[in-house]
Structure 1
Amino acid sequence: MRLSDVTCSECGAGFRRLELWSLAGQKGEYRCPACNSSVEVFDGTKLIAYRLTIEPSVRSIVKAMRG
């Protein structure tokens, strides 16, 4: 098991990332719930979970929405 902190490069939201090597996950992608940008793409070899720990600033959300 590995715990790490991850920050969205677009809006600055912070996440706690949990990676379990003992369980298989699903192929897919985790997208930031605040700005919808891709944070990580999964290959399914291990279980990965995210939890929002630091909300993004309002200014960065507006900027991400305007594109």
Structure 2
Amino acid sequence: MSDPNPQMFFCEPVGPWHDWFAWFPISTYDNRLVWLKKVRRRCMQKHYYLHGGPNSWWQYHIDGSAA
């Protein structure tokens, strides 16, 4: 399974992609709604000099062959 590397201008990944089961509805980085499927996710952290909004969040993606 190949992992995408979308360019983020306001955050950096904290760790690598890992497998996870979407047991509640989630939105992938390319705006697909996924629920009750195997996905990959990684934690993202906002740059320290930005203000407002959450400091960290999960970024999700689903392999194209599994869609």
Please indicate the TM-score interval, normalised by the length of the shorter structure.
0.3 to 0.5
> What TM-score, normalized to structure 1?
0.35
Structure ranking higher in strand proportion:
1
User: Which TM-score applies when normalising by structure 2?
Assistant: 0.35
Higher helix proportion (structure 1 or 2): 1
